[in-house]
Structure formats: structure tokens, C-alpha cells
Amino acid sequence: MKKSILTAFIFLGIFTISCSSDDGNNGGSTSNFLPLTTGDQWTYDVIGGGAVQTDILSVGNNITINGKVYKQMQTASDPNGFYSLTLRNNGLRKDGAKWLLQGTLDFGDDLPLPINFALNDFVILDGNASNGAILSNLEGTETQDLSGFPVTVTYKLRTISQGTQSSFTTPAPQNQTYQNVKVVKVELRLKITTTQTLVPGFPPITVTILDDQAVVNSTQYYVQNIGMVYNNTDFQYNLAINPSQFNLPIPQSSSQNQKEFLVAHQVAN
């Protein structure tokens, strides 16, 4: 993901994902919508924020986490796209028709308020899932400090199957048509509050900074024996307060779109 997008949306939660099987590419399903042989590689054009950048994502060697064998996903350099960013340095494995992702994705210095999600075998793709099926769901709360304010972040991260499309054509400027496409939506919802004593001698009150809303919607398209061919991600939020009244270095609202197009790939089928 572009750093400009990350900076504009400082509350963006982060997720990490993991998948496993002994060789990273088995599990009893003949459908292979995300190949996982060491050396497999995908090159993406990332369009967003008025710029076109390139990500190169590849499958690394086996790693063992909690007794399970994963493939370590790698990028040639710091990734720009949401898809490559979520996979980088994390473990991915295939179990039957499911792909599961394990690890931690931490934006660190990219965010004034770093948030991370540690996931355990979070399902990012299920070749047998029907339209609307929830593949994985993670909910919780986290307390952070933002410019001296203690804030509580309530989050819900979900992957949702969008079923199968017999044919799909990527938007301009690529206009590439694929057959038998599995579609998955990644959704992140956030609510952010802070409890403050605004008037001395009076009880503290809870102020909502960000109403519960979907701040990330990412739709990914997978093709058999190729992998992820197109990803469309919207980052957006609208604060419930005027941030200047609290001296918060945050825009009142933000809306960004990012598209990732597969332009080259090399996989062992």
C-alpha cells in the first residue's frame, strides 16, 4: 500500500494471514487458485494516488510455525499494493480447498498510531465457499495512545466469499478477460472512542472519534493455476468529531482507491 494512503488513513487496522500444508501446495483439492510452489512469482502494477508502481510477490521456502508448515511469502522490495503488503513475510498454506495465512503485519513507522492484528490460520480464500459465506472473522478491542489521548479501537476483520464468476474482465487500462474466477472480499470495520474528563470535577465522558464503519473494502479475484489477478481496494473514513478541536493530526475524512493488476506471472502448475 502506498505510504501516502497509509498516512492519510492513520487508523487503518492491519491484518496478517497464514496458510499451511506440508509442501505448501497440497491438501486434497484439485482446484489451485493460488499456487504455492517455491519460486512462483507474480508482478503487479499498482495504481493509486495518481501513481503507477510495481510489486513483485513470490513464494519462498518452507517455514514451520506451531508445528505447521507454511510457505513464506516475499516481495522484492517494500510493497505498494494492499495485497502484497498483507502477504509479505507471512506464512501461507493450503488445507483442502482453503488457503490460510499466519503471521503479523505491522505498519510501524508508517502510522502515528500503529495497529496490528496477529492472526492464526486466517482464511483468505476457499475454493468451495458459496457466495456470501464468511471465510474468517476476527473481532476485538485494542487500546492505544494518540497524541496524548488514550483511545479504544474496536475492530472487525472479515473475509467473505463473493462466489464464482464464469468470466471476468479487469477494468481499463488492462481489459484482460479471465475464466472461472473466485472472488473474495476483505472488510475491515473500525470504531474509535476516547474517554476524557472535559470539565474538572465532573465525571469523564466517552467521545466517539470514529463511528463504526467499514474503512477498508478490498475485492480480490483469483484464477485457477494463476493466482490473484486483480484487486480493487477502497480506503475511506469519516470522523465523528472535528479533529482540530482535540488537536489530532488527522484529516476529517479520507477516501482513496487502489487497483492492483497482474501483468506477469510464473507458476509451476
Closest CA to 82 of 224, 169, 185: 185
The three cell numbers of residue 31 are 482446484
Q: 473514513: which residue's cell?
A: 237
- pLDDT over threshold 50, residue 7: no
Residues 106-154 have pLDDT tens digits of 644 444 355 678 889 999 999 999 999 999 999 999 898 887 888 999 9
Residues 79-95 have pLDDT tens digits of 999 999 999 999 999 99
Q: Is 97 helix (H, G, I), strand (E, B) or coil?
A: coil
Q: Is 120:83 a contact under the CB 8 Å cutoff?
A: no
Q: Is 4 helix (H, G, I), strand (E, B) or coil?
A: helix
Return the sign of the alpha-carbon dihedral for residues 86, 134, 94, 166: negative
